[in-house]
Structure 1
Amino acid sequence: MAAGGGVRAASLMETPRWAVRLRRANGDIVGTGILLSPDRVLTCAHVVDSANGPITAEFVGAAAPDVPSVPARVDEGAYVQEDRDLDGDPGGDLALLELERPRPAADAVRLHRLSSRREVRMYGFPRGHNGGIWFRALAVGGCGRDGQVQLAPTVPGEVAGPGFSGAGVADGTTGEVFGMVLTRHPDGHCFMAPAETIVRHLPQVQAFTVGPTAVDDRLRSTGDDVSADLLDEPFAQRLAEWLRDDGRQVKISVVGPDDRARAATLRRAVSLADRERPAAASAPRSSWGPPATVPSIGGYDLAVDAAGLECAEIAGRIAGRLGLPPCPEGSVSAALRAARSTLDLVVVGVDEAVDPSDLLDLLEVLRAGGSRLLLVFRTAGVAYLRAREELVVRPARERRARLVERLEEVTGPLARALHQRRAEVLPHGLRSVDAYLVAAHAALADLTRTPDDPARLPDLARYERLAERAAAGLSAHAERLDLLRERCDELGGRLRGYRVLHQHAAQGVEDPAVDALYLRAHALLQTRPCDVREAEAAVAAYTHRVDGTDASARDRGGAPR
C-alpha cells in the first residue's frame, strides 16, 4: 500500500486494480469507476443514472483467474447530477456507488490533491477495448466555473471516447490518482474533476483523499469579509484577472498590515478561487460583489501564508503539491528546478518569511520553470524592490529582447530568403504573406520605441503570437516556393530529355512546329520569375507533340517530315 493509503496507479504495462468496469444488465459497458474503498466506487452521475437499471462493477485488474463481478447501487446521499449555470458551463456529474460485497482494501486507491497542469494518463473501457486501455493526455488548466480541468490528447488517436467517463486520471510520472474523467468534447478534448472539486461536491470522498488542502487557513475569508465596506473593487478586479490567467506570469502587490479592505479583498479572492471550499462565508457566491471581481474556481494550485515560515517548509509544500517524491534535505530546490510540472502559486507575506531572500531565490526557480506567481508583500521595502526587479522587470526586459530578436529574424533573413525565392518563381495559388511582414514590422517598431517599464510595455504575449504566426507563414510560403522551384528544375530536365530523343528520332530533319513548341517552353523556363504553371503547360504541349510525331515516323519506317 502507498504511504497515503491504498495503492498507487499501476504502470502502463499493468491493469490497475482500482479501475472498475461498469456494465448494465443488458451487457453494455457504460463507463468506468475508481475503487476508493472496499465498498465505494467513484464514477460519473450520467454513467449510473438510476433510470437506466442496475449496475454491475467488474474488477478487470484483480488478482484472480476470472474477473470478479459485484452488484452495485447508487448511494443516494452521494449523487450530484450534471447541471449547467447561466453561462452554460457544466458542473457536478459525480456519484458514489455502494458495492454489495466488499473488495480487498489493498485494491483501493486514494485521491491526491495535486496541481492541475501536468502530463497524465487515464485508464478506461472505450468501445473495442473491453479489457481496458491507458490513454495519455496533458492537463492544460482550468475551464468553466466548477473547477474542472481540460485534458488535451498528446498522442493522435488516443481520444477518450464513450466508456472513459469515470476513469481515474493519474500523474504521468508518479502514478498518483488525482482526478476523474467527466466527459468528452466533439473536438477530442475531455475534462476531468480534480480531487478538490470532487470533495466539494461529495464531502464523503474527503475520507479517501490525501494531501494538504490548497489554502492556508489564515488566508480563508470570514463572514466579516462580505461587508461591502471591505471590498477594494479595483484591487479585486486585478486579482480576478490574474486568477483567470490574464497573461502575466508574475503579479506583485502590497497589502499593508493596517489595510483592512485590501486584506479582506485578498482573502475573498483566495477563498472564491479555491476548488475545494469556495467562499468560506455562508453568503452565496453570487452575492460576493460585482462579477468582474469574482475569480474562476481553480485559479491557483496553492496559496501559502509565508509569515514566520522557513523557506524549506514552503518549498516542501510546493514540492508536495507538484507531486514530487520526497527529497533529501537541502535538495528540494534542485528537484523543483528539474520538475516537468508547473503550478499557479499565491504567496502572501513574502517579506514576513523567516528569510525572504531565500524565498525569493526559490520563487525565481519556479518562475524560470514556467510557474505563475501572485506575490503579496506587507511593505514596499527591500524584498519587494528585489522581487519587482528580478521577477518582473528583468524577465520582461529579457522577454522583450527575445521577441525583438525573433521579429528581426522574421523581417530580416526570413523575409530576404522569401524574396529571393519569389524572384525565381511566381507563387501561383499561394496566399500572400505580405500582411504578415507588415504586421511584423509594425510590432518591431512598437517594441523598440517603448521603455523598459513592464507596466508600459505592449502586450508581449500578443506580439509573440504574431511573431510565431509570421515566422510560420513565411517558412510555409518559402517551402511551397521551393517545391515550385523543384518542379521548374524537373520540367527543365524533362524538356532537355525529350529534345535529345526528338533529335535522335528526326535524324537531322527539322520540324518548325515542334521546334517552336520547344523554344516557347525553353523560354518560359528561363524567364525569372518563372511562371511554373504556364511552363508546365508548354512542356506538356512539346512532349505530347514529340510523342505523336516520333510515333508517326516509326509507323512510316523513317524520320518525321
Structure 2
Amino acid sequence: MGREDPWLARIEDTQGRVHGAGTMLDGEYVLTCAHVVEEAIDAGRGADREVRVRIAGHPDDAYPATVVESCWQPPLPDQRGDVAILALRSAVPGAPRARIRRTWQHDEIVRIFGFPAGTDNGQLASAKIASYDFTGERIQLDAVLEQRVDRGFSGAAALAASGEILGVIAVVRAPLAESSWMIAVRTLYKYASAVLDGHLAGRPSQVAPGDWPSPQVPEVLNDPVQLALTRHLVGWLASGGSGGVCAIGGGGAVALTSRLVGLTVPGYRRAAPDETVSGAPPGTVPQLGEVDAAVDATGRTTEQVAEQLAESLSLLTDRATDDLFHQLAELGSPIVVVVNAVDLAADPGELYYRLLEPIAARASSIGVRLLLAYHGDPPRYVRSAVAASLGGPAALAPPHGRHGGTTQVGRRLDRLDRLVEEVETAEGDARVCRDHVAPRILGTPPPQVAGAAALAVRLRVLRDTGSAAAGSTLRGWLLRELDACEEAAARSLVRARRLHAECTALLARRNRARGRLEAYRSEAAARGLIENLGESYEAARRLLYSGGCDLPLAELRVEEYHRAVRREIDGRQA
C-alpha cells in the first residue's frame, strides 16, 4: 500500500478469529461494515458488544473496540445501510489521518486490501468503478485483474491512487465474481457523519460552520409558498435519475437556500436550535451530505466561484473556470451543486455565461443537479429553469385579466401537469438526438437548458399552495405563477421540438449528401471512371464518414466530384 494510505485494520472476535477488514480513520476510530462487526460480536460472545482490532504494523496487539452508537447502521433491506465505526479502547500512536473523497470518476481504479479465507495476513485486489446501484447507496466495482474482490474483503476501504477512501466494500455476490459493491461515501456520510465529517478531502461548503446565518424558521417555513418550495427542493435534490437545473428568486430565496444547504452540513446542524431539525415540518430537512458543493457568490469573481466549487468536488482548481463542466462530466453522478446569491456576484452575467451555463445546458446528460438562487427575480437567460419566483408584496396583488375560480385553477393545473410530462419527453428526445448528432456533424445547435426539472418543482409548489391561496392574499401570487409556469412550459416544449427537428434535419442532410455521392460513384463505375476520379471521391467521402463532419464543405466536395464525373463522361462522348 502507498505511503499516503490510511492504516489497514483486521476485525476479529474476542477469540481471535478474522471476520473482515477495516480502515483506521485516525488513532482512535476504525471504519468498517456493520455486518462484519455483528458477525464478530456473535462469534466471540464478547461482553459489551466488544470486538478486537489488529492494525497493520502492530500485528501483535489486539485493540479492544466497541461500536460508536451515533455511527452505527445495521444492514437494511435492498442492500442499504451496513455502516459501522468502531472506537478503540486505547488510541494507536502515530496513525495518519485518513482522507475521504465524496466524488469519483468513471472507470477510476481502486485498491482494496482484504482477508479472504485462508489469507489472514491479507491480500490486495484492484477493481474499476462502474456506477451506482438502484438505491444509490452502493457503487458497482468490476474486476480488472485475476485477483477478485472476494468474501473476506467486506469492510475494507476502496482506495484511490492518492490514498483517499472512495467507499467501503460491502457486497460480494459469489466467490470470484466479476463484480462487487462498495458503500458510497455519501452513504457513509449519511449514517456516520459525526466522525467522518472531519475527514472529508473536499468540504461541500466553503463557508465555515460558525459563519452560517442562523436558520430563519418563521420567515422561511411559516410562509406557505416557501414551505412548499423547500419541501420540493429537498425532494428534488435527493431524487434519482437524470440531473437538471432549478433557479429560484425573489423574497426569501437566498435565505431559503442558505438554510437548505446549511442543514446538510453536520457542524451547522448540530449548532442549530432543536426546532430547526426535530421541529421542522415533514420533508423540509435534507439528508446530511446531500449537497456536494455549495458557494455563496456574493462579491466573488467567476474565478473564485469556480475554484471553490472545484475544491469542494476534489477537482483541479487551476483550470476550473473554463473546464469545470468537462471535469464534472467525468464524475460519477449524481452530483448536487448549489450557487447562492448569483446576482450579487462581482459579475453575474459572466458568472452565468462563462461558468454556470455550460453546466446548466448539459446537467441532464451528466447527472448534475444545479440549484441557482437569486435575491431578485431570476434573469431572462435562466427563465426556462425557474422553479419559483417568490416575488415581494406587490406580487400578491391579483393580476389583471383572467382570474378563474378554484375549479378553473384546478383544471389549469391538470392541463399543466400533462404539458410538463410532454416537456420532459420532448427534452429527453431532443437531448438523445443532439448527443447522437453532435459528434458526427459540426455546427449542431448548442444544448439548451432543460426546463422539465424546474417545471416539475414549480407545478408541485403550485398544487401545494393552491388550497391555501383560496380567498387569501396568496391568490395573486398563485395566478401569476400559474400564468408564468404555463408560458414557460409552452416555451420549453417549442424549444425542445425545434432542437430535435434541427438535429434531425442535419442528419438527414448529411445522409442525402452520402446518397448523392454513392449515386455519382455508381454512375462513374458504370463507365469505368472510378480509378480516374478516386482522389476526388475520397476527399468527399472522408468528410462525410468521419466524426465532426463539416457539412457545407462536404456538400461542396460532393458537387465537385459530380462535376468531375460529368466532365469525364462528356469528354468521352465528344
TM-score by length of 2: 0.54
Equivalent residue for 2:158, pick from 139, 149, 169? 169
Equivalent residue for 2:348, pick from 335, 345, 356? 356
1:47-67 per-residue CA deviation (whole Å, 9 max, x = no partner) reads 33545346454445x4xxxx7
1:362-410 per-residue CA deviation (whole Å, 9 max, x = no partner) reads 12343448233111222336xx322447999x999886445457999xx
- Measure, in 1, the Cα distance between the counterparts of 2:201 and 2:431: 42
Q: Secondary structure at the match of 1:354?
A: coil
Please tell me whether the aligned partners of residues 299 and 345 of structure 2 are also in contact (alpha carbons under 8 angstroms): yes
Please tell me whether the aligned partners of residues 29 and 88 of structure 2 are also in contact (alpha carbons under 8 angstroms): yes
1:128-147 per-residue CA deviation (whole Å, 9 max, x = no partner) reads 45422234243745986xxx
> Does the C-alpha gap of structure 1 residues 238 and 101 become closer, same or farther in structure 2, counting only changes over 3 Å?
closer
Q: Is 1:255 the counterpart of 2:249 in the alignment? A: yes
- Measure, in 2, the Cα distance between the counterparts of 1:266 and 1:338: 25
Equivalent residue for 1:149, pick from 137, 151, 157? 137
Counterpart amino acid of 2:86? L
Q: Is 1:376 the counterpart of 2:389 in the alignment? A: no
Please tell me whether the aligned partners of residues 182 and 193 of structure 1 are also in contact (alpha carbons under 8 angstroms): no
> Does the C-alpha gap of structure 1 residues 284 and 177 become closer, same or farther in structure 2, counting only changes over 3 Å?
same
Please tell me whether the aligned partners of residues 226 and 288 of structure 1 are also in contact (alpha carbons under 8 angstroms): no
Q: Which stretch of the first structure deviates more once superposed, 353-362 or 335-344?
A: 335-344
Q: Secondary structure at the match of 1:154?
A: strand
Counterpart amino acid of 2:357? E
Deviation for aligned residue 1:71: 0.9
Q: Secondary structure at the match of 1:203?
A: helix
Describe how 1:103-182 pairs up with structure 2 within 5 A: 103-105=93-95, 108-115=96-103, 119=108, 121-128=110-117, 130=120, 131-138=122-129, 140=131, 149-155=137-143, 162-171=151-160, 174-182=162-170
> Does the C-alpha gap of structure 1 residues 245 and 174 become closer, same or farther in structure 2, counting only changes over 3 Å?
farther
Matching residue of 1:437: none
Matching residue of 1:302: 293
Matching residue of 2:338: 346
Q: Is 1:236 the counterpart of 2:225 in the alignment? A: no
- Measure, in 2, the Cα distance between the counterparts of 1:219 and 1:455: 39
Describe how 1:260-275 pairs up with structure 2 within 5 A: 260=252, 262-263=253-254, 265-274=256-265
Please tell me whether the aligned partners of residues 203 and 293 of structure 2 are also in contact (alpha carbons under 8 angstroms): no
Q: Which has the larger radius of gyration?
A: 1
Q: Is 1:222 the counterpart of 2:219 in the alignment? A: no
Please tell me whether the aligned partners of residues 202 and 313 of structure 2 are also in contact (alpha carbons under 8 angstroms): no
Please tell me whether the aligned partners of residues 37 and 84 of structure 2 are also in contact (alpha carbons under 8 angstroms): no
Q: Secondary structure at the match of 1:454?
A: helix
Matching residue of 1:203: 194
- Measure, in 2, the Cα distance between the counterparts of 1:268 and 1:141: 28
Q: Is 1:282 the counterpart of 2:278 in the alignment? A: no
Matching residue of 2:92: 102
Deviation for aligned residue 1:43: 2.6
Please tell me whether the aligned partners of residues 19 and 123 of structure 1 are also in contact (alpha carbons under 8 angstroms): no
Deviation for aligned residue 1:203: 3.1
> Does the C-alpha gap of structure 1 residues 308 and 178 become closer, same or farther in structure 2, counting only changes over 3 Å?
farther
Equivalent residue for 2:302, pick from 311, 325, 336? 311
Matching residue of 2:8: 19
Unaligned runs of 5+ in 2: 388-422, 438-487, 501-574
Please tell me whether the aligned partners of residues 137 and 184 of structure 2 are also in contact (alpha carbons under 8 angstroms): yes
Describe how 1:2-151 pairs up with structure 2 within 5 A: 8-9=4-5, 18-24=7-13, 26-49=15-38, 50=41, 52=44, 53=46, 55-60=51-56, 62=57, 68-75=59-66, 80-83=71-74, 90-91=80-81, 93-98=83-88, 102-105=92-95, 108-115=96-103, 119=108, 121-128=110-117, 130=120, 131-138=122-129, 140=131, 149-151=137-139
- Measure, in 2, the Cα distance between the counterparts of 1:185 and 1:455: 45
1:460-496 per-residue CA deviation (whole Å, 9 max, x = no partner) reads xxx9xxxxxxxxxxxxxxxxxxxxxxxxxxxxxxxxx
- Measure, in 2, the Cα distance between the counterparts of 1:455 and 1:110: 49
- Measure, in 1, the Cα distance between the counterparts of 2:434 and 2:60: 63
- Measure, in 2, the Cα distance between the counterparts of 1:453 and 1:78: 52
- Measure, in 1, the Cα distance between the counterparts of 2:357 and 2:239: 19
Matching residue of 1:477: none
Describe how 1:497-516 pairs up with structure 2 within 5 A: none
> Does the C-alpha gap of structure 1 residues 239 and 77 become closer, same or farther in structure 2, counting only changes over 3 Å?
closer
- Measure, in 2, the Cα distance between the counterparts of 1:391 and 1:134: 47
> Does the C-alpha gap of structure 1 residues 101 and 201 become closer, same or farther in structure 2, counting only changes over 3 Å?
closer
- Measure, in 1, the Cα distance between the counterparts of 2:308 and 2:265: 17
- Measure, in 1, the Cα distance between the counterparts of 2:370 and 2:383: 12
- Measure, in 2, the Cα distance between the counterparts of 1:402 and 1:76: 48
Q: Is 1:453 the counterpart of 2:491 in the alignment? A: yes
Deviation for aligned residue 1:351: 1.7
Q: Secondary structure at the match of 2:299?
A: coil
> Does the C-alpha gap of structure 1 residues 309 and 94 become closer, same or farther in structure 2, counting only changes over 3 Å?
same
Please tell me whether the aligned partners of residues 305 and 349 of structure 1 are also in contact (alpha carbons under 8 angstroms): yes
Q: Secondary structure at the match of 2:274?
A: coil
Deviation for aligned residue 1:288: 2.7
Counterpart amino acid of 1:125? G
Counterpart amino acid of 1:453? R
Unaligned runs of 5+ in 1: 1-5, 10-16, 409-449, 464-561
Deviation for aligned residue 1:266: 3.4
Q: Is 1:386 the counterpart of 2:394 in the alignment? A: no
Counterpart amino acid of 2:4? R
Q: Secondary structure at the match of 1:308?
A: coil
Please tell me whether the aligned partners of residues 139 and 184 of structure 2 are also in contact (alpha carbons under 8 angstroms): no
Counterpart amino acid of 2:63? A
Please tell me whether the aligned partners of residues 54 and 63 of structure 2 are also in contact (alpha carbons under 8 angstroms): no
Structure with higher RCO (Cα < 8 A, 6+ apart): 2
- Measure, in 1, the Cα distance between the counterparts of 2:386 and 2:247: 13
Q: Secondary structure at the match of 2:25?
A: strand
Deviation for aligned residue 1:170: 3.0
Matching residue of 1:245: 239
> Does the C-alpha gap of structure 1 residues 100 and 224 become closer, same or farther in structure 2, counting only changes over 3 Å?
closer
Counterpart amino acid of 2:491? D
